[in-house]
Structure 1
Amino acid sequence: MIKQFEIRRNIFHIFYGLAYVLLIYFNIFKITHLLVLLLIGTIIALVSLKYKLPFINWFLENFERSNTFPGKGALTFLVGVIFAVALFDKPIALAVIMILTLGDSFSHIVGRFYSKIKNPLNDLRYIEGTLVGALIASLGAMLFVSPIKAFIASFIAMIVEAVDIKLLINGWAKKWIFDVILDDNVIIPLVAGVLLAIL
């Protein structure tokens, strides 16, 4: 059951990640649309803490871990997308979203269920997952930036993702704001975007 749930959750992650790429690529979504979507999503999540909203509750039960803030994965992903669009040129922003969409999902699926070598920096991550995530992420990013830039940014972003930064600054990470800022969905776009801007 856990395996099916996690695979389903990550497939959904890929689905809405690619949807963001298409909507931004074809100029259907601007940053204002993303901010409004974040506001609406946050309001729905807060309401979901007290009330079971029929359609929303089905999504939360099928695609969100029960021990987290309602919709946390989708909301932090959207925060990462907003940072990418706000801080970087369009090709870099799209490449960054592809890295987040593909790299994070495949690293979790492969790492959790099909890997054996644990990451020495984080017991919850596996070397195989990080490598597969980086490779697939770079293939997606190549649609918008050069192959070498895509590979370097994807590889380093996945290494950073594999390190639990929250443990390194344990005191700060207990505060909810740092829990959001240090989420993989926010860290990966920032790291990948800065690298692509520098390269």
Structure 2
Amino acid sequence: MHESLRQIVHLTFGLGIAGFVLLFDRDIVLSVLMLALFVGFILSDAISRGYTIPVVSPIIAGLERRDAVPGKGALFFTLGALFCIVFFTKEIAFVGLVALSLLDSVTTLAGLRFGRTRIYNHKSLEGTLAGFAVTAAALCLLLPPGIALMTAAAAAIAELVSPVDDNLVVPVVACLALTLLL
């Protein structure tokens, strides 16, 4: 249940950030994400030093994986989003963040529930295929089908093989693929 809740929060906030990127001016988005990153690092550092922060500490304790840096996933998601906003158009960044939100959550949830065939880095074929399928279907609502499929495939491969946190890599790979394909 813990990981399921974590992934639902990841999906919800990820799609919310993607929508925020699409709806608001680039400068506002950059300012808000930079502020969130700054505050997030302060909170993460304080919690890792043993401070209890009302409201924040229980949320992080309930959602974070065991032995992880407090808020690491959220911080990396924000950093990945910032990179995409700085180096790509907001429309492309939006697609990259949608891809990350859907792919990461669905891959994990499907892998936990249905994953039997481990293919790489403790990840399952079933989770990877489910994440790819859902992401591709969603991107087909935003892009021509061929481009959506190739973007989803690039993102799914990045999610599967990346040696670093997928919140950093997946949106950038999706944005790069989309930029090359358009």
The 5 Å alignment of 1:131-170 reads 131-163=129-161, 165-166=162-163
Corresponding residue of 1:43: 42
| Distance change >3 Å, CA 31–CA 141, structure 1 → 2 | farther
The 5 Å alignment of 1:75-154 reads 75-119=75-119, 121-122=120-121, 124-154=122-152
- Is the 8 Å Cα contact of residues 21 and 93 (structure 2) preserved in structure 1? no
What is the Cα-based RMSD across aligned positions, in Å?
1.5
Show structure 2 runs of 5+ residues with no match.
Answer: none
- Greater alpha carbon shift after TM alignment, 70-79 vs 135-144: 135-144
1:184 lines up with 2:166 in the alignment = yes
- Count of paired positions: 178
Query: In structure 1, what residue type is equivalent to 2:137?
Result: L
Deviation at 1:143, TM superposition (A): 4.1
> 2-side partners of 1:85 and 1:198: how far apart?
17
> 1-side partners of 2:138 and 2:38: how far apart?
28
> 1-side partners of 2:68 and 2:83: how far apart?
22
- Is the 8 Å Cα contact of residues 80 and 171 (structure 2) preserved in structure 1? yes
- Is the 8 Å Cα contact of residues 95 and 139 (structure 2) preserved in structure 1? yes
1:11 lines up with 2:18 in the alignment = no
> 2-side partners of 1:101 and 1:154: how far apart?
12
> 1-side partners of 2:83 and 2:133: how far apart?
23
Instruction: Give 3-state SS (helix, strand or coil) of 2:142's partner.
Output: coil
1:27 lines up with 2:24 in the alignment = yes
Corresponding residue of 1:73: 73
Corresponding residue of 1:172: none
Instruction: Give 3-state SS (helix, strand or coil) of 1:74's partner.
Output: helix
Instruction: Give 3-state SS (helix, strand or coil) of 2:109's partner.
Output: helix
Deviation at 1:66, TM superposition (A): 2.7
1:198 lines up with 2:180 in the alignment = yes
- Is the 8 Å Cα contact of residues 81 and 171 (structure 2) preserved in structure 1? yes
- With the length of structure 1 as denominator, give the TM-score of the two structures: 0.84
CA deviation profile, 1:15-67 (whole Å, cap 9, x unmatched): 10011022122106421221111111111111111201120111112111131
Query: In structure 1, what residue type is equivalent to 2:2?
Result: F
